[in-house]
Structure 1
Amino acid sequence: MAETSFKQARDAFEKFLGGAQAAAGSIEERGESMRAGAKDISTKALSFAETNVQASLDYAQSLIHAKDLSEIMRLHGEYVQAQMKALAEQASEMGQTVSRAAMEATRPKH
């Protein structure tokens, strides 16, 4: 039953991701005036979301196969540490991307 629920969650995520990517592509096609910085920000945000959801799904799957409470606690600790590190790195990278986009947007056009 847990495996079935996990598969359904993974399938739902993959459908969501496909829809989000299609919507992002649609926005890019319609919005010729979209700035490269905004496109880069949205691409990074989508990539980060995909990475974080995938990590959560992997964590959930590892919990399904845990043998005892001590293994669950170990897996949880590893997951929390990895996610905190990933989120800090993502925040730093997004901050740099937003700064670059802001500088590009305020740069005079020739």
Structure 2
Amino acid sequence: MSDEVRDRFEIPKEMRSMAEASVEQARKAFEKFVTAAQDAAGTIEERNAMVRAGAKDVSGKAIAYAEQNVQASLDHAQSLLKAKDLPEVMRLHSEYVQAQMRALAEQASEMGQVVSKAAMEAAKPKA
């Protein structure tokens, strides 16, 4: 290729400088985008971890309550088998129902607190 042909296709210095600056700006913008995307993904993962932890607390509490209630029912059934007469059966049943109502009210209150705490943690802004 002759010098004359090469000179015709040579990019002027100013244009080359502008192109290089544009490429550099694009590179920086892309790096910022990637960083922001990674930060967003990290925030989502943290949020999901908080939600999972809250759900784990709620389900753990629910399982513990179910175990307590089933155990109380089994204990009640066993006490009924040992009852000597109908008045004792009625007394035992009345005591069981009252105890279960108190237990359920307490469990509902505690579960409300656990659910509230989990919801507040999930909604808390990232520090």
Q: Deviations over 1:5-32 (max 9, x none)?
A: xxxxxxxxxxxxxxxxxxxxxxxxxxx9
Q: Deviations over 1:37-79 (max 9, x none)?
A: 1110000000000000000000000001100001000000100
Q: Are 2:114 and 1:83 aligned?
A: no
Summarize the alignment of residues 25-104 of structure 1 with structure 2, pairs less than 5 Å apart.
33=49, 35-104=52-121
Deviation at 1:35, TM superposition (A): 2.0
- Whole-angstrom CA distance in 2 between matches of 1:90 and 1:98: 12
- Whole-angstrom CA distance in 1 between matches of 2:99 and 2:126: 42
Q: What are structure 1's unaligned runs of at least 5 residues?
A: 1-31
Give aligned-pair identity as a percent. 73
One-letter identity of the residue aligned with 2:118: A
Task: Give the alignment's TM-score, normalised by structure 1.
Answer: 0.68
The number of residue pairs the alignment matches comes to: 79
Larger Rg: 1 or 2?
Answer: 2
- Whole-angstrom CA distance in 2 between matches of 1:38 and 1:107: 16
Q: What are structure 2's unaligned runs of at least 5 residues?
A: 1-47
Deviation at 1:36, TM superposition (A): 1.4
Partner of 1:4: none
Deviation at 1:89, TM superposition (A): 0.1
